């Protein structure tokens, strides 16, 4: 796990130049990148969601583009289109912001459903189809979509098919009082989040991320843990509080993230605690609560905690 440890150690040092606190957000974003997945970040504005993603793009020297999602955004605005060149009477491809390595879809639940659906092919197959022609995206293509809590006005809930494409749903909370004081002190001393070049984030060599991903894939999983993962996922499908449980894709993602968590702990083998730690961010957006369960004050995190506690841990 030499390269994974290198990514973790170097990444924490460099991001600490910019980010105060938010350790869980940083770790989960790193897990997303190591697994080659996509993440949905949910939280109120102003808690460093965008800043963290920008820092990771600089850390890995990946091309970064941002889409500010609005209610009038059309599919062609993000995937691009063929534009007629009047001087040559030929069509030329105008590439949209999806043609990048790391995409930040800011406030994705303000984007209309038709445009949300335009992300599906890119997220699942890392390719874009425009006028019948398929265009491949890079192996590092990653979508980080931020989302306001659903009770905010002017939002469109993401459909289940798209939610299932996100590897993780990361819930972000406010920093504590001491961290907020540090944030104020940093800005008072001249820190500018809009000028990251001045911070001088030292990037990792280009091949380290690919090698770290290979190390994660090679993490050993004992047969009993396959059964453990499947049992947790299958139990969501008949749990009394859920109207819809997690899919087989969820089980695959749970295994992937658990393997990455093991790698971050410098282990080349999986243990049950890795699965338990990964279960909440992997599964919370793939289940649907029954209305009567919500009326009783239950949420998906609490129900998933009950499920994890009900499944026998392999010896």
pLDDT digits (tens, 9 = 90+) for 237-274: 999 999 999 999 999 999 999 999 999 999 999 999 99
Q: What three-state secondary structure class fits 143?
A: strand
Please compute the mean of the pLDDT values over residues 279-303 and round it to a whole number: 90
Q: What pLDDT was estimated at residue 209?
A: 93
Q: Name the domain boundary from 150, 176, 209.
A: 209
**Residue 198: per-residue pLDDT:** 82
62 plus 121 within the same structural domain: yes
**Angle, CA 6 vertex, CA 138 and CA 23 arms, to 5°:** 85
214 domain-assigned = no
Q: Are the C-beta atoms of 105 and 75 separated by less than 8 Å?
A: no
CATH number at residue 278: 1.10.8.80
| 152 band by pLDDT with thresholds 50, 70 and 90 | low
Task: Choose from 93-97, 179-183, 296-300 the range with maximum mean pLDDT.
Answer: 179-183
Does residue 227 carry a pLDDT above 70? Answer: yes
Residues 63, 134: one domain? yes
Co-location of 38 and 125 in the same domain: yes
Q: Which residues on neighbouring strands pair with residue 168, listed in sequence order?
A: 39
Residue 132 within a domain: yes
Q: Beta 133-136 vs 242-244: how paired, if at all?
A: unpaired
Same domain, residue pair 147 and 283: no
**Same domain (yes/no): 84, 228:** no
301's tokens: 């995190």
Residue 222 confidence (pLDDT) above 70: yes
CATH number at 181 reads 3.40.50.300
Distance between CA atoms of residues 19 and 23, nearest Å: 9
Cα→Cα distances 50→55, 67, 121, 140, 243, Å: 9, 11, 24, 18, 33
Q: What is the pTM of this model?
A: 0.90
* Predicted pLDDT of residue 150: 59
Last-in-domain residue among 170, 189, 209: 209
Q: What is the mean pLDDT of the chain?
A: 89
Say whether pLDDT at 226 is over 80. yes
Residues 14 and 137 in one domain: yes
Q: Is residue 315 part of a domain?
A: no
Same domain as 157, residue 279: no
Reported as a pLDDT band with limits 50, 70 and 90, residue 112 is confident
Residues 15 and 103 in one domain: yes
Does 315 or 290 have the greater pLDDT score?
290
pLDDT given for residue 153 in this prediction? 61
Confidence at residue 151, expressed as pLDDT on a 0 to 100 scale: 55
- Statement to judge: residues 174 and 33 lie in one domain: yes
Give the number of domains in the chain.
2
Query: Do residues 23 and 56 touch, judged by C-beta distance below 8 A?
Result: no
Give residue 295's domain range: 219-310
Q: At which of 167, 186, 209 does a domain end?
A: 209
Same domain? 95 vs 231: no
Task: Please report which confidence band the pLDDT of residue 278 belongs to, taking 50, 70 and 90 as the band edges.
Answer: very high
């Amino acid at each position: 796990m030499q390269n994974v440890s290198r990514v973790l150690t170097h990444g924490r040092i460099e991001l600490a130049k910019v980010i105060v606190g938010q350790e869980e957000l940083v770790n989960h974003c790193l897990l997303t990148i190591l697994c080659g997945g996509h993440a949905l970040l949910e939280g109120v504005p102003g808690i460093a969601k965008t800043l963290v993603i920008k820092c990771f793009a600089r850390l890995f020297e990946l091309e970064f583009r941002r889409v500010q999602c609005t209610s009038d955004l059309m599919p062609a605005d993000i995937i691009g289109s063929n534009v007629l060149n009047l001087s040559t009477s030929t069509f030329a491809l105008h590439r949209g912001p999806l043609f990048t390595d790391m995409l930040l879809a800011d406030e994705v639940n303000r984007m209309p459903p038709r445009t949300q659906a335009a992300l599906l092919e890119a997220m699942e197959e890392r390719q874009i189809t425009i006028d019948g022609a398929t265009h491949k995206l890079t192996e590092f293509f990653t979508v980080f979509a931020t989302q306001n809590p659903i009770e905010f006005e002017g939002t469109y809930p993401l459909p289940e098919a798209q939610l299932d494409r996100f590897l993780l749903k990361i819930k972000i909370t406010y920093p504590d009082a001491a961290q907020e004081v540090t944030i104020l002190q940093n800005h008072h001393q001249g820190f500018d989040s809009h000028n990251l070049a001045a911070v001088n984030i030292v990037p990792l060599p280009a091949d380290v991320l690919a090698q770290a991903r290979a190390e994660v894939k090679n993490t050993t999983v004992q047969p009993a843990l396959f059964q453990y993962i499947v049992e947790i996922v299958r139990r969501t499908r008949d749990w009394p509080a859920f109207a819809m449980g997690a899919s087989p894709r969820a089980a695959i993602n749970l295994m992937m993230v658990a393997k990455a968590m093991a790698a971050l702990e410098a282990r080349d083998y999986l243990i049950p605690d890795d699965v338990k730690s990964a279960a909440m961010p992997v599964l919370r957006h793939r289940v649907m609560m029954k209305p009567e369960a919500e009326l009783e004050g239950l949420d998906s995190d609490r129900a998933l905690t009950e499920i994890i506690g009900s499944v026998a841990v392999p010896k």
